Structure 1
Amino acid sequence: MQEYQNVKLKPAEVSLLEQKEFINEKYYMDDLKYERGIIYNLTKRIIDIFGSLIGLILLSPIFIIISVLIKINSRGAIFFSHKRIGRAGKIINVYKFRTMVPNAEDLIEKLPEHQKKEFMENFKLENDPRITSIGKFLRKSSLDELPQLFNILIGNMSIVGPRPIVEKESIKYGQDASKLLSVKPGLTGMWQANGRSDTTYEERVQMDMDYIDNRSFWLDIKIIFQTVIAVIKKRGAR
């Protein structure tokens, strides 16, 4: 983790979605600087399709159990979708199991000032009072992320890739914004495999950039195995 320390970000003046070139898909299709070749991309998509299908079938009993527990624990929907920025700047709905109270977004304004500041800086809270009891377990075990298998199946996410971010976060990527949106976001990535919540935001950004620069089949396999180990050991789980 030391290699990611003391990383300073250069914020952009405006968000990605306020810059027209970032929402032009052709801009990314023509920018070959970050492409790893048609064979890698095509094979990765095939693996994503079969991997997500197999995962959804094998994990269907777990989906049912979690769904029942969520309904017993609190009122509201079983699934939660949040708008994130996908490849080429397209807005996508990223799916998760609901881990917060139904009106979680509205409660942000009612949080104490120090928690509001923490949320605006990191886009997450250390001790988030909006999380339900079953939600805490789902987050620590990363089971809340399982519905993203649907995102992978339909093609707007990949098994391995950078973190899917919200529009407000895009400002923090500065000059690396176009690189970030040249690939699909992933269910897991270097951040999840290297400590998750134990890393700073700057370290997370640097990990995303390192993955994009060095991505390969072997790196994807390595990240998947590291993620499994991190989840089992609850490394960085909160």
Structure 2
Amino acid sequence: MLAAGRDADVFALDEERVLRRYRSGRSALGEVRLMAHARSHGFPAPEVFSAQGPDLEMERLHGPTLLQAMTAGEVSLTDAAAILADLHHALHAIPLPAVAGDGSALSGAPLTSRADESLIHLDLHPANIILTEPHGPALVDWANATLGPAGLDVAMTAVIVAEVAVDAGGAYSRAARALLVSFLSAAGVDPRPHLDLAAQHRIQDTALVPGERELVRPAAAMVRHYADIAFDAPATDDDQG
């Protein structure tokens, strides 16, 4: 076993492959389709070799997570925020996959999604980013991926980061707060229109451990506070050209 996540376990098969298995037994087919679509457009997601029921046989990525690299002082908060924002920008720029009426991505099926939707991850945070060598950051854990507004994805990342800021205390809290502010600036997307929905989705996440749900509302309030500053600040003479 390489890792035990909140709802899945990851096993090393060899140096090139891992097996990711959902404990609930739910099918992973939906996320496989979206991962494959993202990869087909050059997005850094792991390759899936096979999928059956709750089992995914995938490419094994070697490298620390962005969270580990930040904790070790190998990546600055500013650079980490830029990595988060760049992955959002790249993901949301991918052309939408064709989808079926049930929302699953199907090659060749009529496109039924709304014009304002993007491919969104909804769990894009430092612990789900692997800093691979030599290819750079790659995004893992696509269990929540779907189609929706890009702003919802940005709001979800902001809430997850803010949960650490309102909970950890001390240096971790200050670092998370600084990361949140830098991320909002780098992302350039106002999360406030989607913040209530992001908080609702987060609270309903069955993978949250005891105590985490109580952090969501204070985290959302913190995001709103810093978004108010970032997006409502009066323009300076330089901003006006």
TM-score normalised by the chain length of structure 1: 0.26
Q: Which has the higher contact order (CA 8 A, sep 6+)?
A: 1
